[in-house]
């Protein structure tokens, strides 16, 4: 446990360093927020230095990094340059919406992906398996932004069945209706990968020696799949799902931006375009912590599902 915690602490330290460095590597700078390029060009060097010092960018990079680390450990992530809100407040308001979107998408994707993956492996020599495999490859190759815009045009503009932006109507209703298109986009673009992984894992187990021996002993095929093949085949899928939760939160940036969804992804995109360093650092920190935590959960729960990992320990 100590070794694992040390590894995760090292990963988190590297991630914190990148979170600090990447915003400062972008072209432009935080002064972009305070006026047009023509207005900023008329500022003297002293005026620029005064503005930078007022917002905490006048110090050297090592001093800024130390201040940033102190803020991370004290949960004081600074103030957004764009609207003056505390970064923790902005993140706290956006994070629940992202968790709602990502949680719903993961539940739907896991149910459909695993079910269709098992079906595709069992029907691999029949026409239905080939159709599922082709559809999964196509779905896995769809760009999120293109699919999101296609759904908006079809269901929002042409048919006018579903709302295409925001999360609620002015009268406060329509939460589920607003979730349909973003969840559908995340599900369709993530379904193919999970289908292919489940199908490949189950096929590997079905052709393994223990399963072949059980088949040779006359075990019925249905019981063979349920009792001998399905559980070991789904163990890697469990790990993939845990990691997918963290990565999907970061991948929702495109979907939330296209649908004007008020979550962490859209907040991150707005912070990047505005060069809002404190908000960028806070958003990147939350996304990083989510990925690291899901890795830890996958490591902790895997031995509970696999007796071989427990005996190896």
pLDDT digits (tens, 9 = 90+) for 283-300: 888 888 888 887 777 777
Residue 42 lies in a domain: no
Residue 128 lies in a domain: yes
pLDDT of residue 169: 59
pLDDT of residue 172: 46
CATH number of the domain encompassing residue 204? 1.10.3720.10
Closest residue by Cα to residue 116 from 106, 105, 127, 128: 128
Residue 23 lies in a domain: no
Residue 47 lies in a domain: no
Query: Structural domain of residue 201, as residue ranges?
Result: 90-277
Residue 206 lies in a domain: yes
CA 5 to each of CA 12, 130, 299: distance values in angstroms, whole numbers, following the listed order: 10, 44, 11
Closest residue by Cα to residue 264 from 84, 60, 81, 91: 91
Task: Kindly state the percentage of the chain with pLDDT values over 70.
Answer: 81
Q: Which residues contact 254 (CB under 8 A, 6 or more apart)?
A: 144, 145, 148, 265
Q: Average pLDDT in the 249-268 region?
A: 82
pLDDT of residue 218: 76
Instruction: Reduce the DSSP state of residue 86 to 3 states and report it.
Output: strand
* Tens of pLDDT, residues 69-104: 888 888 887 778 777 788 888 888 888 888 888 888
Residue 298 lies in a domain: no
Distance CA 113, CA 204 (A): 17
Higher pLDDT, 92 or 276: 92
User: Terminus-to-terminus CA distance in the chain, angstroms?
Assistant: 11
pTM equals: 0.75
Question: How many domains does the chain divide into?
Answer: 1
pLDDT of residue 310: 58
Residue 97 lies in a domain: yes
Give Cα 54 to chain centroid, integer Å: 34
Residue 301 lies in a domain: no
Q: Average pLDDT in the 157-163 region?
A: 83
Task: Kindly state the percentage of the chain with pLDDT values over 90.
Answer: 0
Closest residue by Cα to residue 68 from 22, 114, 102: 22
């Amino acid at each position: 446990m100590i070794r694992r915690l040390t590894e995760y602490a090292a990963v988190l330290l590297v991630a914190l360093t990148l979170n600090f460095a990447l915003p400062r590597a972008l072209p432009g700078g935080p002064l972009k927020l305070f006026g047009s390029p023509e207005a900023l060009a008329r500022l003297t060097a002293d005026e620029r230095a005064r503005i930078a010092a007022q917002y905490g960018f006048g110090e050297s990079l090592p001093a800024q990094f130390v201040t940033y680390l102190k803020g991370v450990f004290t949960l004081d992530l600074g103030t957004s340059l764009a609207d003056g809100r505390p970064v923790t407040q902005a993140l706290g308001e956006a994070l629940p919406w992202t968790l709602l979107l990502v949680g719903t998408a993961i539940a739907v994707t896991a149910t459909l992906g695993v079910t269709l993956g098992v079906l595709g492996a069992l029907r691999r020599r029949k026409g239905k398996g080939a159709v599922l495999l082709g559809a999964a490859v196509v779905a896995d190759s769809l760009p999120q932004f293109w699919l999101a815009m296609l759904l908006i045009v079809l269901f929002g503009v042409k048919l006018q069945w579903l709302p295409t932006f925001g999360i609620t109507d002015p009268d406060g209703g329509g939460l589920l209706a607003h979730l349909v298109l973003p969840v559908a986009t995340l599900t369709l673009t993530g379904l193919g990968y999970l289908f292919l992984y489940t199908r490949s894992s189950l096929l590997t187990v079905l052709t393994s020696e223990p399963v072949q021996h059980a088949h040779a002993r006359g075990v019925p095929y249905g019981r063979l799949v349920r009792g001998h093949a399905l559980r070991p085949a789904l163990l890697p899928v469990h790990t993939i799902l845990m990691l997918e939760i963290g990565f999907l939160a970061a991948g929702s940036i495109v979907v939330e931006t296209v649908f004007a969804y008020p979550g962490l992804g859209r907040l991150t995109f707005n912070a990047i375009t505005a060069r809002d360093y404190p908000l960028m650092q806070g958003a990147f920190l939350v996304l990083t912590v989510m990925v690291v935590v899901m890795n830890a959960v996958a490591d902790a729960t895997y031995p509970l599902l696999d007796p071989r990992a427990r005996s190896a320990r």
